[in-house]
Amino acid sequence: MVKLICPDAPNIPWQDKPAGFANSPLWRYSGNPVIGRNPHKDVARIFNSAVLPWENGFIGVFRGEKTDGVPSLYLGRSDDGIKWSFDEDRIPFVDGEGKPFIPVYAYDPRLVEVEGAYYIIWCQDFYGASLGIAKTEDFKTFTRLENPFIPYNRNGVLFPRKVNGNYLLMSRPSDSGHTPFGDIFISESPDLVFWGKHRHVMGKGGGWWQDLKIGGGPAPIETSEGWLLFYHGVANTCNGYVYSFGGALLDIDNPSIVKYRSANFLLTPEEWYEERGFVPNVVFPCAALGDAATGRIAIYYGAADSYVGLCFGYAQEIVDFVKERSKLSESDTELGIR
């Protein structure tokens, strides 16, 4: 019996599994997309966004593509995790002295609670694509920390607890373009300022749908079988990139070691809102909410760089699927030091 080691969250969005044949343990919310086009003043599209339970409802950090084309981060609130209202202005990040320090652009946020504080990690300009990180305790003041890494890097995924006394941050080093390469690495820090002990976690090339590049998705969920990681994988087709996502289980005490990694995707673009949009054929998960009591998991994913979708699954079925279809490469299982 797989156990989720996270708080109970009985009110996460949920819909029962539809009957019938399925090639995946995940099923989509029938009301998708939950956020449609032009959702906000001067914002054309919201997608690739992160959500957490907060007070009696939910709070989220949303990638809003403004009508001038620049991606920015907006705060949103919801009672049910499905209908959202957004703050009118971008998140007012400040530096350590409280002075405004808003990123030039910002996209693909993750939102993670560690020891009672909330961290937003996103991709931004630091003389090229790289990671930004900020801390908030009240969702009113958002203080930026030092940028963790030099460029170029994307897909910053902070773990929801320290491991062996250190914070853990997964990332995907690359270059500044739409690069045809990219593996997932992990780094440790005692204080969220100094990062080191870099390790390789897993490489692209798990076959077909994840052959071109991969990147961490939502903050991993702790389970009795290891850290459950959802990650995106990209295929290069004659008609452009296709973004799907899969699952892996990482060792609890040393998450640079991959225990299982599904050779099959969990979700691939199939619905109109995934296949058609600003960038067609993209599903890109940025948040996963677990409910420990029932083992239910709700995943928020960006669709076609245009919408937000929701899908659901049971931890037990997802873990079974990943284990049964696991195919590891040599670099997945090693310590990640070369």
Strand partners, 133: 121
Number of residues that bind ligand BMA (CB under 6 A): 10
245 near ligand BMA, rule: CB under 6 A? no
| Residue 337 φ/ψ region, left for φ over 0, alpha for ψ in the -120 to 50 degree band, beta for the rest | beta
Rounded CA separation 228/243 (Å)? 19
Q: How far is the CB of 26 from ligand BMA (least distance, A)?
A: 19
Buried b (16+ CB within 10 A) or exposed e, 26-49: bbbbeebbbbeeebbeebbbbbbb
Alpha helices in the chain (DSSP H): 272-275, 315-324, 330-333
Of 305, 306, 309, 326, which lies in the binding site for ligand BMA, with binding defined by CB under 6 A? 305
Q: How far is the CB of 282 from ligand BMA (least distance, A)?
A: 5
Please choose, out of 140-148, 198-206, 267-275, 276-284, the segment that lies near ligand BMA by the rule CB under 6 A: 276-284
Residues 79-108: x where in contact with ligand BMA by CB under 6 A, - otherwise, as a string: ----------------------------xx
Query: If you search the block for the tokens 């607890």, which residue do you land on?
Result: 161
Of 302, 309, 313, 336, which lies in the binding site for ligand BMA, with binding defined by CB under 6 A? 302
Confirm if 134 and 144 have CB atoms less than 8 A apart: yes
User: Considering beta carbons, is residue 184 or 319 the nearer one to ligand BMA?
Assistant: 184
CA triple 14-16-22, angle to 5 deg: 115
Of 214, 219, 282, 318, which lies in the binding site for ligand BMA, with binding defined by CB under 6 A? 282
Of 29, 185, 243, 312, which lies in the binding site for ligand BMA, with binding defined by CB under 6 A? 243
Rounded CA separation 256/227 (Å)? 11
Residues in contact with 237: Cβ distance below 8 Å, sequence separation at least 6, in sequence order: none
Q: How far is the CB of 215 from ligand BMA (least distance, A)?
A: 8
Of 32, 48, 124, 187, which lies in the binding site for ligand BMA, with binding defined by CB under 6 A? 48
User: Considering beta carbons, is residue 278 or 314 the nearer one to ligand BMA?
Assistant: 278
236 near ligand BMA, rule: CB under 6 A? no
49 near ligand BMA, rule: CB under 6 A? no
181 near ligand BMA, rule: CB under 6 A? no
User: Considering beta carbons, is residue 107 or 167 the nearer one to ligand BMA?
Assistant: 107
284 near ligand BMA, rule: CB under 6 A? yes
The closest residue (CB) to ligand BMA is: 279
Rounded CA separation 20/16 (Å)? 12
**Torsion, CA 311, CA 227, CA 221, CA 176, rounded to 10:** -70
Rounded CA separation 225/203 (Å)? 21
237 near ligand BMA, rule: CB under 6 A? no
Residue 159's SS3 state is coil
Q: How far is the CB of 170 from ligand BMA (least distance, A)?
A: 16
Of 178, 270, 293, 335, which lies in the binding site for ligand BMA, with binding defined by CB under 6 A? 178
DSSP class of 296: E
Residues engaged in binding ligand BMA (CB under 6 A): 48, 107-108, 178, 243, 279, 282, 284, 302, 305
